[in-house]
């Protein structure tokens, strides 16, 4: 097959074949284009993978992990979003903790009594605190919606993090 493309000639006895390539003009052109694409692809990858990336440092405390489990077991996802992902019946809760008009007591009030479109969950005090702790740490990791985003030349999207200077 290869000798069809490259018009190569097959020499040799012990190895299957040793080809002497003699490319036609058109093959040389394709070869050049493919080689250029490979070079550009490598350069692009070099910049993508060597670009400095940012990893937020917030880790969940054990209380927050309990809160996250409650969040999942009780399907808060089905009505609420974090970072814009989730159900859309209720509001996004990414920054509800640090919102000056809302905050931990506001969250607790919703967990205590629910509202017409949100069920009352009958959580214990410890469970409510765990959910609040979870939302506190989620809040620390960033803003949603995040309007302070820019696309860098490397292709990465840079967004503003809360703990970044
Ligand atoms: C069946 C849908 C539904 C589920 C499930 C649900 N919620 Fe809600 N939640 C709502 C709706 C709708 C609102 C908005 C109510 C309003 O403002 O009148 C709301 C409001 C809230 C608010 C106040 C948000 C704000 O910014 O005003 C908090 C906090 C909250 N929910 C937490 C939770 C948590 C935690 C869970 C899971 C344990 C949960 N919700 C489960 C529907 C739901």
pLDDT digits (tens, 9 = 90+) for 18-41: 555 667 777 788 889 999 999 999
Q: What is the mean pLDDT of residues 86-91?
A: 95
Give the relative orientation of helices 104-113 and 125-141 as an angle to the nearest 10 degrees.
140
| Residue-wise burial string across 119-154, b where 16 or more C-beta atoms lie within 10 A, e elsewhere | eebebeeebbbbbbbbbbbbbbbbbbeeeeeeeeee
| CATH superfamily to which 62-150 belongs | Cytochrome c-like domain (1.10.760.10)
* Chain position carrying tokens 């350069």: 43
Rounded CA separation 38/9 (Å):
27
Q: Does residue 83 have a pLDDT over 60? A: yes
Ligand 1 in contact with 117 (CB < 6 A)? yes
Q: Which of 15-24, 30-39, 50-59, 115-124 has the lowest mean pLDDT?
A: 15-24
Q: How far is the CA of 162 from the centre of ligand 1 (A)?
A: 24
Global pTM?
0.73
* Helix/strand number for the chain, H first, E second: 5, 6
Q: Where are the domains of the chain?
A: 2-50, 62-150
Is 75's C-beta closer than 6 angstroms to any atom of ligand 1? yes
């Amino acid at each position: 097959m290869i000798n069809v493309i490259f018009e190569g000639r097959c020499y040799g006895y012990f190895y299957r074949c040793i080809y002497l390539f003699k490319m036609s003009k058109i093959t040389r052109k394709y070869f050049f284009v493919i080689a250029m694409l490979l070079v550009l692809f490598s350069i692009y990858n070099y910049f993508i993978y060597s670009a400095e990336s940012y990893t937020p440092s917030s880790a969940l405390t054990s209380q927050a992990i309990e809160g996250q489990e409650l969040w999942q077991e009780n399907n808060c996802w089905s009505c609420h979003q974090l970072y814009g992902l989730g159900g859309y019946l209720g509001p996004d809760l990414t920054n509800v903790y640090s919102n000056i008009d809302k905050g931990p007591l506001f969250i607790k009030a919703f967990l205590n009594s629910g509202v017409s479109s949100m069920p009352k969950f009958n959580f214990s005090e410890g469970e409510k605190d765990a959910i609040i702790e979870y939302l506190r740490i989620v809040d620390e990791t960033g803003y949603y919606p995040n309007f302070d985003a820019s696309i860098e030349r490397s292709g990465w999207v840079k967004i503003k993090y809360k703990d970044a200077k």
